[in-house]
């Protein structure tokens, strides 16, 4: 099992635009496996390659509560299917312990390749629609806090700074 370090807000590397995956080779398959390990360890539901400092168009997701719902999206494209937008309280592994509402279209079509390189097209709603739009934003260098007010963004920066400091202290205590 390999755990990959997750970049934290406001790291400028999170603003890098991800490039298309050209070939699904062994390196990409290992990265997918490592990203799932990292996702489960962090107790998230989705992870974009950008968050682990790999700037390619790759997303892993598992919305199940027993690791039975692995989904891989390579070179994804998203098309909103409705004008209707609904707020959903989002979180982000790159912005730990910050949660806030973001409004997004409630139904989208995803066109992507799966982990084996097979093309698929799927119309999705609910948490999958929210999560894929959040992860697509990561591939485009956008974070959910960008949709919030300037005041909320500075509070988020401060919160992340404190959370990271706390985590470092806990690691030091374990080592000692």
Pick the catalytic residue: 23, 103, 123, 135? 135
Residue 43 touches which member of Zn ion, ligand K1U, none, C-beta under 5-8 Å by kind: ligand K1U
Nearer to ligand K1U, 42 or 81 (CB): 42
- 139 lines the binding site for Zn ion (CB under 5 A): no
Which residue number is nearest to Zn ion in terms of Cβ? Answer: 92
Known catalytic residue: 26? no
Residue 62 touches which member of ligand K1U, Zn ion, none, C-beta under 5-8 Å by kind: none
Q: Which of 78, 48, 80, 75 is nearest to 61 (CA)?
A: 48
Per-residue DSSP letter, 176? -
DSSP, residue by residue, 32-50: HHHHHHHHHHTT-SEEEGG
C-alpha of 18 from chain center: 13
Residue 72's φ and ψ, nearest 5 degrees, are -125, 135
- 92 lines the binding site for Zn ion (CB under 5 A): yes
Nearer to ligand K1U, 3 or 26 (CB): 3
Which residues contact ligand K1U (rule: CB under 6 A)?
43-47, 90-94, 130-131, 134-135
- 124 lines the binding site for Zn ion (CB under 5 A): no
Number of residues that bind Zn ion (CB under 5 A): 1
Residue 52 touches which member of ligand K1U, Zn ion, none, C-beta under 5-8 Å by kind: none
Q: Which of 88, 114, 108, 110 is nearest to 99 (CA)?
A: 88
- For the chain, strand residue ranges (E) read 46-48, 58-62, 70-80, 85-90, 100-105, 107-113, 119-125
Q: Which residues are catalytic?
A: 135
């Amino acid at each position: 099992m390999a755990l990959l370090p997750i970049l934290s807000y406001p790291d400028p590397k999170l603003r890098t635009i991800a490039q298309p995956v050209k070939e699904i080779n062994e390196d990409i398959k290992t990265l997918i496996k490592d990203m799932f390990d990292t996702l489960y360890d962090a107790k998230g539901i989705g992870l974009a390659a950008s968050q682990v400092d790999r700037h390619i168009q790759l997303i892993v997701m598992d919305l199940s509560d027993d690791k039975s719902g692995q989904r891989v999206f390579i070179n994804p494209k998203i098309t909103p299917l409705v004008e209707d937008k609904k707020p959903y309280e989002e979180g982000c592994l790159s912005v730990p312990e910050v949660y806030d509402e973001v409004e997004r279209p409630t139904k989208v079509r995803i066109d992507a390749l799966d982990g084996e390189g097979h093309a698929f097209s799927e119309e999705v709603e609910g948490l999958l629609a929210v999560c894929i739009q959040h992860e697509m934003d990561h591939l485009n260098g956008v974070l959910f806090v960008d949709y919030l007010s300037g005041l909320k963004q500075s509070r988020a920066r401060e919160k992340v700074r404190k959370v990271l400091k706390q985590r470092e202290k806990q690691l030091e205590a374990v080592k000692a």
